[in-house]
Structure 1
Amino acid sequence: MTLNGQELKEIQEQGAPKPSWQKALDYAMDKRGTPYVWGGTTKRGYDCSGLMLRAYESAGIDLPRTAAQQYSAFSRKISWKNLKPGDLVFFSGLGHVGMISRPGHMVHSPRTGDVVKEEKLSAWRRQAFVGAVRPDPAGVKLTTHLAKLRQAPAPVMPTATL
């Protein structure tokens, strides 16, 4: 039996595990139509960072809760011209986050009264762009570890007595 190129590609893809970003993107895209709920992190409703939190959690990557914390969780930032699907994009002083779904588009949970949706990145979004990150397990673990060290009380130092 001879396979054509498309058939061979399909067989290869079936055996290869999905990358984390693809799992996260599939999760977020599957939630389109779910209502925006401020502070929401469940199928009843999501806010912007709650959607990203659950999407990457489904891919085995733990993110912090808020958009600002998610941005700060990674030292490597991605420029507008280097965005790829799965990247988290941040806007308006870190007050909003979405995920690149395909070139020039993002999936996000926009605001009260709206739903999770995919939309084109507009000129207005470009102007409000703060930065982007490409989530990976190592980046979050390192940042979480450093944050815990900063919050820990200072070690007790021995004092000399005369």
Structure 2
Amino acid sequence: MDKRGIPYVWGGTSDRGYDCSGLMLRAYEKAGIELPRTAREQYGAFDRKIDWDRLKPGDLVFFSDLGHVGMISKPGYMVHAPHSGDVVKEEKLSSWRRQAFVGAVRPDPKGVRQWAELREQRSEPVPASLTATL
């Protein structure tokens, strides 16, 4: 919440400016939880998804085909970095937001560790094919 008023900057992850996922990355970093960089990766990092009717403060909420993320700040509100020309702010969850809602996650250290392990496995080189010799 202390980042309210800082300008939106595409790709931003600092007090010079934040984009939506950069803001979430730094917020959870402060809590000791490492998140992936983009909104799509942040959503995919957790198997357990949260329904609209079960949102709690701290949950990450995703909108518009995973193109935007915010964090529930209190019931019915989220904090986010909206778009170019705007600033980090708290916003009431509107009916428009409900229609654009894709899903939500409740980040926890265990879930992020599982995501990191999976990511590491995916980046490991494929073993060379074995050849039979006679």
TM-score by length of 1: 0.80
Query: Whose RCO is larger (CA < 8 A, sep 6+)?
Result: 2
* Alignment partners' CA distance in 1, 2:14 and 2:118: 28
Count of matched residue positions in the alignment of Structure 1 and Structure 2: 134
SS of the residue corresponding to residue 24 of structure 2 reads helix
When the two chains are superposed, the root-mean-square deviation of aligned CA atoms in Å is 0.9
User: Gaps (5+ residues) in structure 1?
Assistant: 1-28
* Alignment partners' CA distance in 2, 1:84 and 1:148: 30
Which entry has the higher C-alpha Rg, 1 or 2? 1
Task: Please show how residues 101-120 of structure 1 align to structure 2 within 5 Å.
Answer: 101-120=73-92
Give the counterpart of 1:83 among 52, 55, 62: 55
Measure how far apart 1:106 and its partner are. Answer: 0.2
Percent of residue pairs identical: 75
Q: Which has the higher helix share?
A: 1
What is the match of residue 161 of structure 1? 133
* Alignment partners' CA distance in 2, 1:151 and 1:130: 27
TM-score by length of 2: 0.97
Runs of 4+ in 1 over 6 A off after TM superposition: none
SS of the residue corresponding to residue 4 of structure 2 reads coil
What is the match of residue 31 of structure 2? 59
Q: Which has the higher strand share?
A: 2
- Could you report, residue by residue, the CA deviation over 1:8-60 in whole angstroms, capped at 9, with x for unpaired residues? xxxxxxxxxxxxxxxxxxxxx01001110111000011000000000000111
What is the match of residue 3 of structure 1? none
